[in-house]
Structure 1
Amino acid sequence: MSGSFRKRVAAIVTEYRHNSHAEVIVGRLLGGLGYRPRVEVVSLYTDQVPANDMSRDEAARRGIPICATIRDAIRADHCSEPIDGVVIIGEHGDYPVNEKEQMMYPRRRFLEETLAALDELDLAVPIFSDKHLACDYDDAVWMYEQMKARGIPFMGGSSIPHCDYVPNFEPQRLHSLREAIVISSGGLEGYGIHAMEVLQSLTERRKGGETGVSAIRLLRGTEAEVWAAMDRGEWPEDLMLQALRAIPGLPEAHPRELEPTPALFAIEYADGTKGWIVQFQRLVEQWSFAFRHDGERVTAALCDSDLDRPFAHFERLTRMIEAFIINGREPFPSERTLLTTGMICAAMDSLFVRKRVETPWLHMVYE
């Protein structure tokens, strides 16, 4: 597609600088990082402009206006035709952190102002919003319901669930999944949501579909608390070790010898399925998983994400975003994004109150 035949997109971002999500997604849609876009970014709103901002130079080079408000970016009055889609990147930037250690990105505000402008134009175009919906689950539910009420196709989440599995396996194995563990790294919320989405992209494919989550516990690794829980049989050591073996280049030693204080997310599904995330700070840089199925069989694989530029897993995500905007079809259930948002919010609640949190509001059913 080229010229006037390409779908027109408004981009709404927190900040646009080197290696930000705005650069590796919107930057690709602008033709950067060796990417050939199939849609056309026609307007750009940046909430913050850091010292290393790239947006002004990129916009000037592409002849795209930097808009003073989200409303202006959505209206795109300089275009002869209305926009066909919206890409929201509410990730990175200088924002406050709340008492639960959650970064308070303005994702609800971004969507609220986007919907208000679309309403003015009587438009209902596809919207992509990066990562989870909000740090507050009530906000997330509002966002989800507002888009559903308008008939707006929605795609959210991150790049990691869409990576290739190494080794690949037959999806039918997931139909009998009853236990799964995901290996993760980094910050509890910001990177934990990637692992939540990997976990949910696996568990939702079990026979009968998704029935929701009944309880969540997040243990921060202090004084070997996570390893003590493993020794008590509260989470499966064998699944963790098989998931770690899927990551190349790791030391041979047991991870408890290499990292004494990981974090552990424990997820109890309403149908009895169990999920865990073991989140390390230094041991790993990628995501992997292992799950038990067909009785005692175990399948393990790496989520093959890149560690260096140009981050090919973001190219795959960008291709998915483009296809979504062009055809208006959600590539996976939007309920996944709502559920994983609720899961990470409940996990941070659990950390704050230092106990297991029951989550009847997450008894969410979808295919």
Structure 2
Amino acid sequence: MNKAARKRIAAIVTEYRFNSHAEVIVGRLLAAFDYIPQVEVAALYTDQVPDNDMSREAAARYGIPIYKTIREAIRAEQSGGPVDGVVIIGEHGNYPTNSKGQIEYPRRRFMEETLAALDELSLVVPIFSDKHLAYRYTDAVWMYEQLKRRNIPFFGGSSIPHTDHEPPFDRRRLQTLQEIVVISSGGLECYGFHAMEVLQSLVEQRDGAESGLRSIQLIEGAGGAAWEAMDRGEWSEELMLQALHSFPGLPEAHPRELEPEPALFLLEYLDGTKGAIIQFKRLVEQWGFAFRNKEQQIFAARCLSGEERPFHHFERLTRMIEAFLITGIQPFRMERTLLTTGMICAAMDSLHEGRRLETPELHISYR
């Protein structure tokens, strides 16, 4: 595409360093990783500049102004005037962790300052925001309502729901989904959100409109509580084993012998659909799932995310971001991102309070 015809965007990030989400997304928009971008990064704002910062060198190489404020980055006065779209990446950086175990990334502040700058200019442009909306659900609702009120096209969430599945399956089988188990790993909040997105991207395809979540519980692994819940029939051992069969090279032993203390998320939807996320510490490094439909058929697959550089799943996400910024067409309903944000926030509340929580605030309907 002719550079003069490209949409011009502002990148608003927490930090831009090696292997950060800013590097693997914005870096691609700057032609790193052998990527050919379709938009132009016209302005950059970095909230923090660590010792291993890459933004200054990249900006100097491509002649991109780094602005001191988000308002100035949206106005982009040094590079041709107001931008045509915004990419917000509030992931990574040195931010506090609260008593619930949530990293207090400044995603609401980034959105607030972005919207204020657009309002000053009477502009409506597409906005992408990486991962969940906020660590406080009330902030997420505020962000959702502000975007809707302004009719701003919005695309949010993570890279993992958009990966290919191995083995592939007929997605029409999801229409009668009744129960699902998602395999996950890593940190409870940051990687648990990826698992929530995998789960919701599948569950929302069942027949009828999504009506939302009735309850959620997050159980820590101490003492093997997740396995005890399995023994009580609260989630499906069969679905877990089927899901793990899609991961090559795993040991023959039962996972409870290999991982005695995984974490467990238990979710119940308003229509009775049941979900579980089993989150291991060492056994796997990707996401996978197995679901049972009302015909009692079981389908299982692994999400083909790249475990090492160049992290090919971020190439798929970056292509989607560019298509969205160019067309303004949302790849899915933003209610999914609101719901998955609420799910991970409620899960962390459940862990903090040590009990199952009813979730009337997550009775979110969409098709």
- Once the 2 structures are TM-superposed, how far is the Cα of residue 298 of structure 1 from its aligned partner? 0.2
Whichever residue aligns with residue 312 of structure 2, its letter is: A
Aligned length: 367
> What is the 5 A alignment of 1:189-208?
189-208=189-208
Q: Which residue in the other structure is 1:254 paired with?
A: 254
Structure 2 contact 177–293 (Cα < 8 Å) conserved: yes
Q: Write out per-residue CA displacement over residues 254-289 of structure 1, whole angstroms, 9 at most, x where no aligned residue.
A: 000001000000011000000000000111000000
> What is the 5 A alignment of 1:1-367?
1-367=1-367
- Once the 2 structures are TM-superposed, how far is the Cα of residue 247 of structure 1 from its aligned partner? 1.0
Structure 1 contact 179–293 (Cα < 8 Å) conserved: yes
- Once the 2 structures are TM-superposed, how far is the Cα of residue 71 of structure 1 from its aligned partner? 0.6
- Once the 2 structures are TM-superposed, how far is the Cα of residue 232 of structure 1 from its aligned partner? 1.0
Mapped to 2, the partners of 1:349 and 1:189 lie a distance apart of 11
Mapped to 2, the partners of 1:34 and 1:309 lie a distance apart of 12
- Once the 2 structures are TM-superposed, how far is the Cα of residue 80 of structure 1 from its aligned partner? 2.9
SS in 2 for 1:252: coil
Mapped to 2, the partners of 1:14 and 1:109 lie a distance apart of 11
Whichever residue aligns with residue 52 of structure 2, its letter is: N
- Once the 2 structures are TM-superposed, how far is the Cα of residue 4 of structure 1 from its aligned partner? 1.1
Percent of residue pairs bearing the same amino acid type? 69
SS in 2 for 1:40: strand
SS in 2 for 1:224: helix
Mapped to 1, the partners of 2:228 and 2:82 lie a distance apart of 58
Mapped to 2, the partners of 1:3 and 1:237 lie a distance apart of 54
Q: Write out per-residue CA displacement over residues 46-90 of structure 1, whole angstroms, 9 at most, x where no aligned residue.
A: 000001000000000000011100111001012334211000000
Structure 2 contact 85–127 (Cα < 8 Å) conserved: yes
SS in 2 for 1:217: strand
Structure 2 contact 132–157 (Cα < 8 Å) conserved: yes
Structure 2 contact 186–281 (Cα < 8 Å) conserved: yes
- Once the 2 structures are TM-superposed, how far is the Cα of residue 294 of structure 1 from its aligned partner? 3.5
Structure 2 contact 339–362 (Cα < 8 Å) conserved: yes
Structure 1 contact 173–294 (Cα < 8 Å) conserved: no
SS in 1 for 2:181: strand
SS in 1 for 2:190: coil
Q: Write out per-residue CA displacement over residues 82-106 of structure 1, whole angstroms, 9 at most, x where no aligned residue.
A: 2110000000000000010000000
- Once the 2 structures are TM-superposed, how far is the Cα of residue 295 of structure 1 from its aligned partner? 2.5
Mapped to 1, the partners of 2:142 and 2:30 lie a distance apart of 31
Mapped to 2, the partners of 1:291 and 1:2 lie a distance apart of 46
Whichever residue aligns with residue 324 of structure 1, its letter is: F
Give the gaps of 5 or more residues in structure 2.
none
- Once the 2 structures are TM-superposed, how far is the Cα of residue 123 of structure 1 from its aligned partner? 0.5
Mapped to 2, the partners of 1:120 and 1:78 lie a distance apart of 18
Structure 1 contact 182–289 (Cα < 8 Å) conserved: yes
Mapped to 1, the partners of 2:277 and 2:140 lie a distance apart of 22
TM-score, normalised relative to structure 1: 0.99
Mapped to 2, the partners of 1:19 and 1:153 lie a distance apart of 28
Mapped to 1, the partners of 2:229 and 2:3 lie a distance apart of 59
Whichever residue aligns with residue 127 of structure 2, its letter is: I
Whichever residue aligns with residue 96 of structure 2, its letter is: P
Q: Write out per-residue CA displacement over residues 197-219 of structure 1, whole angstroms, 9 at most, x where no aligned residue.
A: 00000000000021100100000
**Residues 86-95 or 291-300, more deviating:** 291-300
Structure 1 contact 214–269 (Cα < 8 Å) conserved: yes
Mapped to 2, the partners of 1:323 and 1:3 lie a distance apart of 16
Mapped to 2, the partners of 1:31 and 1:98 lie a distance apart of 37
Give the gaps of 5 or more residues in structure 1.
none
Structure 2 contact 10–43 (Cα < 8 Å) conserved: yes
Q: CA RMSD in A?
A: 0.6
Structure 1 contact 196–344 (Cα < 8 Å) conserved: yes
